[in-house]
Amino acid sequence: MPQSPQTYDFLEPSPHEGDLGMLGTYRILGEMGRGGMGYVFRVEDTVLERAVALKVMNRKIASTPNSRDRFLQEARAMAAVHHDNVVVIFEVGTHEGTPFMAMELLRGETLEAVNARKEPVDYERVINYARQICRGLAAAHAKGIVHRDIKPANIWVEEGTERIKILDFGLALAQSPAGDSTGVGSVCGTPGYLTPEQARSDPLDDRSDLYSLGVVLYEMCTGKLPTAQPAIAEQLVALLTRSPQPVRDLNPDIPQPLADLIEQLLAKEPGDRPANALTLEKQLQ
């Protein structure tokens, strides 16, 4: 359904017929998606004459200083990580009070969309994706950045190459004081991918992302979440008191070493998980 002009009242008119409008030097060609924080558009950078994706913050939310700061923190976090397995940020700025970030325009789909097709599990593909995610996480962790929301919707599978890109560092820093990348006592994230540390209000570190990666791999291998409760309070209790059903009970085609590694990632104590993303990447070889 076409969007009414009022939907994009933060855009200026475009001289090109069919465009949604302009934001600074960006021609807004179409909307790719939207969420609580704002919109993602397919745009043309008229200065460099290239297609990019533009994430634009909702004007009402942008009027709140804390929200605007979180948006800029996300952009800076993503821009700080230079790696093939993390989405590339080209520019961060504010145009007439509207914060935006320009990033590479990706072709393909999210891992969430891949999972939704319920195709037969190819464990070699699971390992391939896992190793790429590890490399992207290692690059972020080396910068002191904990993602905190690793889930299929935030993992992009590029069309043609199956290269993985980690997306959306916004929630990663949403509840952090400036300069604090660990976070204590905040329950932010998607319920099925929360960690035992969040249930205990413990500090989060690199191994928290590895737990969430374990959830992603468990879901890829079995079609189910290891722990799934209807309410967040019940989910937090289950994270501390229940153990997931073994991977091979649900899918005996998964090799035992891979199943064992996934179950190690889902250990309730961070110290029982692989030490870091690079160690995990080597274990997956």
Tens digit of each residue's pLDDT (9 = 90 or more) over 189-234: 678 888 999 889 898 899 999 999 999 999 999 999 999 888 888 8
Same domain (yes/no): 237, 256: yes
- Tell me, what CATH number does 247's domain have? 1.10.510.10
- Tell me, what CATH number does 21's domain have? 3.30.200.20
pLDDT of 190: 79
Q: What distances in angstroms separate CA 274 from CA 1, 38, 209, 264, 280, one per listed residue?
A: 47, 36, 11, 7, 6
Band (88; pLDDT cuts 50, 70, 90): very high
Same domain (yes/no): 95, 65: yes
Same domain (yes/no): 99, 126: no
Band (188; pLDDT cuts 50, 70, 90): low
User: Among residues 68, 84, 104, which one ends one of the domains?
Assistant: 104
Q: Domain residues for 9?
A: 5-104
Same domain (yes/no): 49, 132: no
Average pLDDT (100-118) is 95
pLDDT of 181: 39
Average pLDDT (254-263) is 98
Same domain (yes/no): 156, 89: no
pLDDT of 170: 63
Is-catalytic flag, 168? no
Same domain (yes/no): 159, 247: yes
pLDDT of 2: 45
> Is the model's pLDDT at 178 over the cut of 90?
no
pLDDT tens for each residue of 148-172: 889 999 999 999 999 999 998 765 5
Same domain (yes/no): 174, 227: yes
Same domain (yes/no): 10, 130: no
pLDDT of 5: 45
21 contacts 39 by C-beta, under 8 angstroms: no
Same domain (yes/no): 116, 133: yes
pLDDT of 175: 33
Of residues 24, 179, 30, the one with CA closest to residue 101: 24
Same domain (yes/no): 147, 40: no
Q: Which is the catalytic residue, given 149, 168, 206, 209?
A: 149
User: Among residues 76, 104, 132, which one ends one of the domains?
Assistant: 104
pLDDT tens for each residue of 229-238: 888 888 889 8
pLDDT of 254: 97
pLDDT of 180: 42
Number of domains in the chain: 2
192 contacts 244 by C-beta, under 8 angstroms: no
Q: What percent of the chain is modeled with pLDDT above 90?
A: 62
What's the CA gap between 220 and 231, in Å, rounded? 23
Same domain (yes/no): 114, 224: yes
User: Among residues 81, 104, 127, which one ends one of the domains?
Assistant: 104
Q: CB neighbours (10 Å) of residue 35?
A: 11
> Is the model's pLDDT at 185 over the cut of 60?
no
- The token duo for 196 is 């035992």
Average pLDDT (104-117) is 96
Average pLDDT (239-262) is 96
pLDDT of 7: 67
Same domain (yes/no): 96, 112: no
pLDDT tens for each residue of 31-77: 998 877 789 999 999 999 999 999 998 878 878 878 888 788 778 87
Average model confidence (pLDDT) across the chain: 88
Lowest mean pLDDT among 141-145, 244-248, 252-256: 141-145
